[in-house]
Amino acid sequence: MIGTVLRDLGITADRERVRVDWGPAKLIAHAVSTGEGVLTASGSLMVETGKYTGRSPQNRYIVDAPIAHENVNWDSPQNRPIDVETYERLYGNVAAHLSERELFVVRAFAGADRAYARKVIVVCERASQALFISQLLVRPTADELENFGRPDIVVLAAPDYTTTKEADGVDGDAAVMLNFDAKTIIVAGTGYSGEIKKGIFTTMSYLLPVEDGVLSMHCSANVDPATGKTAVLFGLSGTGKTTLSADPDRRLIGDDEHGWSPRGIFNIEGGCYAKCIDLTREREPEIYDAIKFGCLTENLVLDDATHEPDYADGSITENTRAGYPLSHIASAVEPSVGETPSVILFLTADAYGVLPPISRLDRTEAMFHFLTGYTSKVAGTEVGIVEPQPTFSALFGEPFMPLDHMVYAYLLGEKIARHNTRVYLVNTGWTDGPYGTGHRIALSHTRALVRAAMDGSLDYAGYRHDDVFDVDVPRECLGVPSDLLEPRKTWADPEAYDEAAAKLVKLFKENFEKRYPGTSLEDLTSLKR
């Protein structure tokens, strides 16, 4: 069957050069023997990804095919169109390249709930990338492999193929092309494995709403083992999403990509792709201990003598990564599914220091903040930033959501209303003043608020309405100073607080009006698909 599938894909490699569904040990042994990577002291396979050590948005395209043309949000700068002819040109060249290489074929599922899962075949020329994707996707059982059949999604990964304008019709030496009509992904010219992972997630974020009416979400999720109640956590980089979802009193469903169906939520993946920079066992014990044999690590600096990784060394890249299966996390749920979420948390690191540490949102407010996706960068994080800079990424993951944003917002609002799901906006950023004057909200206080939201005890706290941000704020929470819940009281100069809060409100409004012109907040609850 594999031979037939490859021929149908235009790949004519000799059978003896095709390795199908190799296990981690064989893939690691092969990668080490060929010099693809080295074993670290913790047992992970470490590779250097070359020129590209992160995603390359300028090299990513969506094929403007007939069906996709009607569905994709082409107004988003994230969705760069490419014509079908150029795609077919690149596809033919990559298929010819792979036909001459030793190949590794991985069969897996995108989606832990088989009712909504898609069968994926990844054809790649590096054993290390086969290891990565076999650990990151959901692994089929022996019976499922026996009856796998033809794939729903195909990925061709050719990091050693260099694209050119003359041969392939694209600028630059790498290209990532997503063809939603053909359900095919090409990753050429880059060894960064995150392009494979995010290509599959972006495709699922197109297919699930369009074909199944399922909400795809860029979020983490966990469950209370005693009650079975689940929570989902949205948040951009630096908001504490990974830290807060790894609660020792709860079990992890997944850390990055999920679907919300009529049956509940499910992990789209079967593994995690964690950042490693400054990793310590003290701060992130589950991630630290997950980096062992079977894990792929990227761009770490190793001690020459011992191969101990120096997680603090970002000389190759600050975006050092580890890809490992959920089975490496002791608290992970198997299978990685959960009931309909009882609570949603939107995490933001507000460097202005004006948002309450937690506030309750109604359906309209939840849809607004979902469409806004706010956090902030602070001085010193990037060249040229001298004061807090707002960052807005719609849906808390705009680059991976190719449909009109309102499609996802409608699905979220519908589910919140139908299931009476509680929604909170959690500020993990600053209090006592803005960045540079105030201080970061203590993790212990944030954890207390998050746990109270998850277990429902925050429902009984009593609330006051914040007229500035139009949210409801709890009056008390066990283990949290009451003044902290009213950020204006923490500022030495209340008038300065009022000025900063008004500035942030203005930024919210300007961003919303720019992204969704002609849409009022009142319109959100009447959205139709």
Catalytic residue numbers? 55, 198, 218, 237, 241-242, 256, 321
Dihedral angle sign, alpha carbons of residues 401, 403, 405, 407: negative
Given the structure tokens 């043309």, which residue do they identify?
69
Amino acid in the structure at residue 106: V
Asked if residues 87 and 177 have their Cβ atoms less than 8 Å apart, the reply is yes
Radius of gyration of the chain (CA): 23
Cα angle 140, 141, 146 (rounded to 5 degrees) comes to 90
Q: Nearest CA to 184 among 56, 55, 65?
A: 65
CA dihedral 34, 38, 43, 47 (to 10 degrees): -100
Phi, psi (degrees; rounded to nearest 5) at 447:
-60, -40
3-state secondary structure 204-258: HHHHHHHHHCCEEEECEEEECCCCCCEEEEEECCCCCHHHHHCCCCCEEEECCEE
AA identity, residue 20: V
- The answer to whether the peptide bond before residue 335 is cis (omega within 30 degrees of 0) is yes
The owner of tokens 């079967």 is 270
Helices (H), 378-468: 405-419, 443-455
111 to 86, 106, 203, 420, 464: CA distances (angstroms): 30, 15, 12, 25, 41
In Å, what is the CA distance from 19 to each residue of 3, 62, 148, 324, 392?
A: 11, 30, 16, 21, 43
Give dist(CA 86, CA 84) in Å, integer.
6
Q: Nearest 5°: phi and psi at 138?
A: -85, 125
- Which residue type occupies 162? T
CA distance 200 to 132: 13
User: Which residues make Cβ contacts (< 8 Å) with residue 30, sequence separation at least 6?
Assistant: 19, 22, 36, 127
Q: Which residue has the tokens 């794939």?
A: 151
- Contacts of residues 172-176 at CB distance under 8 Å and 24 or more positions apart, as own/partner, are 172/56, 172/58, 172/59, 173/51, 174/51, 174/52, 174/56, 174/59, 175/59, 175/60, 175/61, 175/90, 176/56, 176/59, 176/60, 176/61
